[in-house]
Structure 1
């Protein structure tokens, strides 16, 4: 028998949102500092831009691809354990990167440490939030993943200051300590199901015997056999070839066009500002206008934003691109988990999201590193950027093919 817990003045779901926000602030913020280290790694190890970019691609592949493991484990063991383990791994990976003697050791330390750490924590954290909300699911999800945007704003700027003041090795060490202490500490707030606390989603009064009800929605196998899942998987795979290029190549692109180093690094911060705004504002707007339709519009919007980058040559045009792209990218990250919950229900949400995000993993592995090698050959980013434009347009078309599929029984259609 589940004990009844008195209604808290503050709905506990918001504490889960705060934990997810912090995990993503620390994990993705640490990952997206990578652009601030590219020049230092190139100089110290005599590496090409393509080979250095591969470090980020490896980490990205792991932290999205590992959802296929961390999702089912979170359904079984709980989000709290997975997030704590992930944050400790992020801290350990950054600390080991600080003592690397070859670019291969950076691959192993940063790629495996940050990749495994974020991979173990990201899907469990996002999935936990979805179970605590229905009516405000888009807003809550947006608030949680805005940690990525705030992390992108704060930590790359911090990394630049640390590199200039202490050196790149000491900068990695400081970031590693921050990840382990702050990330793991806040992960203690995670709780997977409001029913376990005598609560209902959105802070509503619990139904009698709600703890005995089976979560609504599809199993992993049922979801994977739907046309909607196949189309979402293909759309996320294709758009991911270009969606993460700015996080690796925007600073080098700006430096190549004569932008000062501090101003170039600030462009990542502008993406963070836009991304934070997009996660806060677009998630709630999608709740009112329809989350699936909004997702389709974001694919088109990101394609148009990348077009701005293709023709930008100075700081202000790059700043415009950074903000617009940040808003749209932030909205995409915020809305996608809620769309998955709407489509397939909460029964196996962590497992379904884990499989879906392997599509993003493959795109992240190939896209940024391919852009780096393309630059090494042509000394231009034009072709990779335009490829990203086309990829987002194709992704939007594919996702639209499944637009009319019905929602699972018991779940609200959006």
Structure 2
């Protein structure tokens, strides 16, 4: 029996994970601050609600594109150069938006600077964390993805208070200066680059998707992208419309905001549970389980619309969704070589934002058409089922190839 390969995990790996979570919490401010500032921005520019939402839309597009670009750069130069550059760009963008003379200029600056710059703090950081773990990789990835959710818990009340006290323009200047002053020093902890460990368990995986699953790398990545879009179309319905839904039911937007906070809080907590599962059973089984749980939680919104029951269902939905996005990063690391992790993990996670954007718009459009969120929930469940089907099919192929490899070796 060959000796067990040494682990790549060290105490520095865990320090790096903690710093990455902090950086993600700070750098993902753009996902939430623009939503909180929307009413003030709308009033300042005297614009319709749809136009006032453009800065957020442009920023999300920037997050998508920037995550893929930064992932590629991180594969070549390490995470620090693009992260530092993105931090400077994002911080500059917040300051520039404070002097925007029109809503169109504000929206353009948000996309080009806040979105593209902040993207370095999202998917590329998750990919970088995955390179420093092998024994606890699933848990580490799950915790790394929690940063963006933590940003949704931490930033909105701070931004809301600052806007009420000082206005949205001064608040944006403050965010830019604060992120610059905190993120650049923190990012120096990530200066060290991972070296090739030819003697570790990492090298035991060839990263050949043809051998492990019987599909080409491009087809495998494409199927994971479709799956990511489908699950996040479903995920977007409660996340984007829960506050409005509670208003329609007569509970008020404040209750809806509380439910959203409960959902995000339970989503963060579930990272620990799903991180343990990812280490035990792997990426594809965890994705299938999380997707099935999310579909179940979505379906529970249909018969239960009482105040207490909505809190409970929202908590269940948060627990279910917490393990879905980390699963994609683990699947990529299981099926592809480490040298491509930055680009492929960033691509897999970044495209989920397209699903969030599409799902949020689609649920609103269905509501406008039907006057009810019931059809929007059914639509979300249908997209969720497609995600489950892709995950189940890939898992079946993976297990079939594992069995075939074992038979060939016997």
TM class, shorter-length:
0.7 to 0.9
User: Where does the alignment leave 5 or more consecutive residues of structure 1 unmatched?
Assistant: 1-6, 201-205
Count of aligned pairs: 391
1:159 maps to: 159
Question: Alignment partner of 1:188: what SS?
Answer: helix
Question: Alignment partner of 1:189: what SS?
Answer: helix
Q: How big is each residue's C-alpha offset from its partner over 1:195-250, in whole Å with a ceiling of 9 and x where there is no partner? A: 37xxx6xxxxx94xx8xx89952599x98546533321221122232323444433
Identify if the C-alpha distance between structure 1 residues 10 and 406 changes in structure 2 by more than 3 Å, giving closer, same or farther.
closer
Paired residues of 1:27 and 1:114 also in contact (CA < 8 A): no
- TM-score when normalising by structure 2: 0.82
Identify if the C-alpha distance between structure 1 residues 335 and 357 changes in structure 2 by more than 3 Å, giving closer, same or farther.
closer
2:129 maps to: 129
Query: What is the CA–CA distance in structure 1 between the aligned matches of 2:351 and 2:182, rounded to whole Å?
Result: 29
2:356 maps to: 364
Query: What is the CA–CA distance in structure 1 between the aligned matches of 2:123 and 2:215, rounded to whole Å?
Result: 17
Query: What is the CA–CA distance in structure 2 between the aligned matches of 1:104 and 1:241, rounded to whole Å?
Result: 27
If asked which structure has higher relative contact order (CA below 8 Å, sep 6+), I would say 1
2:81 maps to: 81
Deviates more, 1:15-24 or 1:243-252: 243-252
Paired residues of 1:55 and 1:107 also in contact (CA < 8 A): yes
Deviates more, 1:10-19 or 1:365-374: 365-374
Picking from 322, 331, 339, the partner of 2:331 is 339
1:4 maps to: none
2:168 maps to: 168
Query: What is the CA–CA distance in structure 2 between the aligned matches of 1:362 and 1:165, rounded to whole Å?
Result: 34
Identify if the C-alpha distance between structure 1 residues 342 and 38 changes in structure 2 by more than 3 Å, giving closer, same or farther.
same
Paired residues of 1:35 and 1:251 also in contact (CA < 8 A): no
Query: What is the CA–CA distance in structure 1 between the aligned matches of 2:75 and 2:383, rounded to whole Å?
Result: 32
1:146 maps to: 146
Paired residues of 1:36 and 1:159 also in contact (CA < 8 A): yes
Per-residue deviation at 1:10? 6.2
1:32 maps to: 32
Is it true that 1:299 corresponds to 2:299 in the alignment? no
Question: Alignment partner of 1:132: what SS?
Answer: coil
Query: What is the CA–CA distance in structure 2 between the aligned matches of 1:152 and 1:174, rounded to whole Å?
Result: 18
1:401 maps to: 393
Is it true that 1:276 corresponds to 2:275 in the alignment? no
Query: What is the CA–CA distance in structure 1 between the aligned matches of 2:126 and 2:215, rounded to whole Å?
Result: 18
Paired residues of 2:244 and 2:253 also in contact (CA < 8 A): no
Structure 1: 4+ residue segments shifted above 6 A:
7-10
2:113 maps to: 113
Identify if the C-alpha distance between structure 1 residues 358 and 223 changes in structure 2 by more than 3 Å, giving closer, same or farther.
farther
Identify if the C-alpha distance between structure 1 residues 308 and 155 changes in structure 2 by more than 3 Å, giving closer, same or farther.
farther
What root-mean-square deviation, in Å, do the aligned CA atoms of Structure 1 and Structure 2 show? 3.5
Picking from 186, 207, 218, the partner of 1:217 is 207
Deviates more, 1:391-400 or 1:352-361: 352-361
Query: What is the CA–CA distance in structure 2 between the aligned matches of 1:308 and 1:103, rounded to whole Å?
Result: 39
2:94 maps to: 94
Q: How big is each residue's C-alpha offset from its partner over 1:355-401, in whole Å with a ceiling of 9 and x where there is no partner? A: 33453243234332344455556554443333222111111111221
1:249 maps to: 241
Paired residues of 2:329 and 2:345 also in contact (CA < 8 A): yes
Identify if the C-alpha distance between structure 1 residues 181 and 384 changes in structure 2 by more than 3 Å, giving closer, same or farther.
farther
- TM-score when normalising by structure 1: 0.81
Query: What is the CA–CA distance in structure 2 between the aligned matches of 1:164 and 1:315, rounded to whole Å?
Result: 29
Identify if the C-alpha distance between structure 1 residues 387 and 171 changes in structure 2 by more than 3 Å, giving closer, same or farther.
farther
Paired residues of 2:329 and 2:349 also in contact (CA < 8 A): no
